[in-house]
Amino acid sequence: MSPKLPTDIETPAVVVDVALLERNMATAARIKRESGAKVLLATKAFALPAVFPMMREVLDGTTASGEYEARLGRETFGKEVHVYAPAFSEPEVRRLLTLADHIYFNSASQLARFLPMVKAAGKQGSAKHVGIRINPGYSNATVGGALYDPCAPCSRFGATRDTLDEMPWDDIEILHAHALCESMADGSAGLIEKVGRDFAKYIGRVKAVNFGGGHFINKPGYDVARLIAAIKAFREKFGVEVILEPGGGLIVDAGWLVSTVLDIHRNEKDIAILDTSASTHTPDVLEVPYTPRVVGAGKPGEKPHGYILGGKTCMTGDVIGEYSFDRPLKVGDRVVFEDMAQYTFVKNTTFNGTPLPDIGLLEKDGTYRVIRRFGYEDFARRVGA
Ligand SMILES: Cc1ncc(COP(=O)(O)O)c(C=O)c1O
């Protein structure tokens, strides 16, 4: 889909389209309404307080990957704050006890170490809900192979089945089973059904089951009714609350990365060097890896003018992909990458002193508003200048 972006946007810029974000929120609202599940935003995918007031109207809160995200959720989103990490340090747990309402541990050893602190906080009036993340042994990540599969062999995520009997179930309120990544409804329903089949004995001990993120609920083709039916069946069978905590699934296709061609270089092929960079601005392009869609461009050979699109860092592999265009690219042309609101600005770095992209909002009335512009100070402060 082509965004109606003003032509004078300064680049590089991550532009979040408020209307598209609202469209995505409507899916979350439907899931909540029809299934009775709670839906949280995983801020690891998208931490943008400027749009939290609108998201807060639908969602039940946020889920964090550690102290800083928990604090951001507490201070800028409100409602419920959940937090999970593969391991916490003692000072982190101490601070989390003032920030989060729900704390999920990854192992029997972390539980044993921190349960006394959590209980002591409870006695002083700040009651926390304790969860344990299990490894359900369910592989369904649709991208990135083992790199993005929480249940890949030797994964560090979640207590393994053989350790569950020894857990202090009297103190655990939530079973957490995050296993998906960009999964369609078959994956979501498959996970819910597998956990119901294989872990029934433990579900009987808790009040809620959190089926994590990775439910790609706003991806075209995702069968939302199937997810809703699976949640309803699970809730009816076990009488527990169900929680989902998607990140990407709430944000998919709701934003753009707008860049400008700085030069056309020739080395066997035409190479357009952009003012953006895979390495610093869209690291998932290299990590997953994948080739993002570009507005108006086709695959190599589909259109008459072929280009490799590359970043401006020193890293040889800082290449976004190979594309073709109807017309030759020239210096100053705009290149717009699709689906760039999730897992982009939250992961950006200033490697090479590369300027960070603006973060902007395309408002519903078509106006463009820069939320945050970064400068030399953001680079310099991080290296201690
Ligand atoms: C524990 C947990 N919850 C939620 C999420 C969000 O996943 P996604 O953005 O794929 O929906 C992740 C992603 O890594 C995660 O590890």
| Residues 335 and 294 grouped into a single domain | yes
| Residues 305 and 175 grouped into a single domain | no
For residues 80-106, give the mean pLDDT.
97
pLDDT in the model for residue 145: 83
pLDDT, averaged across the chain: 96
| Residues 376 and 247 grouped into a single domain | no
* Cα torsion angle, 296, 347, 275, 144, sign: negative
Q: Tell which one of 24, 38, 44 to mutate to probe ligand 1, the residue whose CB is within 8 A of the most ligand atoms.
A: 44
Share of the chain above pLDDT 90, in %: 94
- Our answer on whether the CB atom of 248 is closer than 6 Å to any ligand 1 atom is yes
pLDDT digit string, tens, across residues 39-52:
999 999 999 999 99
pLDDT in the model for residue 1: 54
pLDDT digit string, tens, across residues 133-183:
999 999 998 787 888 999 999 999 999 999 999 999 999 999 999 999 999
| 286 Cα to the center of ligand 1, angstroms | 19
* Residue nearest atom 7 in ligand 1 by C-alpha distance: 213
DSSP state of 148: G
Q: Is the pLDDT score of 6 beyond 90?
A: no
| 40 Cα to the center of ligand 1, angstroms | 11
- Our answer on whether the CB atom of 249 is closer than 6 Å to any ligand 1 atom is yes
- Our answer on whether the CB atom of 74 is closer than 6 Å to any ligand 1 atom is no
Which H or E element spans position 273?
A: strand 269-274
Task: Name the residue type at position 16.
Answer: V
Residue 299 is encoded by which pair of tokens? 């695959």
Segments forming the whole domain that contains residue 287? 255-340+348-382
Give strand ranges (E) for 123-232: 129-133, 174-176, 208-210
The model's pTM: 0.97
Residue 249 is encoded by which pair of tokens? 């699934």
pLDDT digit string, tens, across residues 114-136:
999 999 998 887 778 999 999 99
CA 83 → CA 35, 41, 97, 188, distances in Å?
23, 11, 10, 21
Last residue of one domain, picked from the residues 222, 251, 280? 251
Last residue of one domain, picked from the residues 224, 251, 278? 251
* Residue nearest atom 9 in ligand 1 by C-alpha distance: 247
Of 3 and 325, the structure prediction assigns the larger pLDDT to: 325
Residue 45 · residue 59 · CB < 8 Å: no
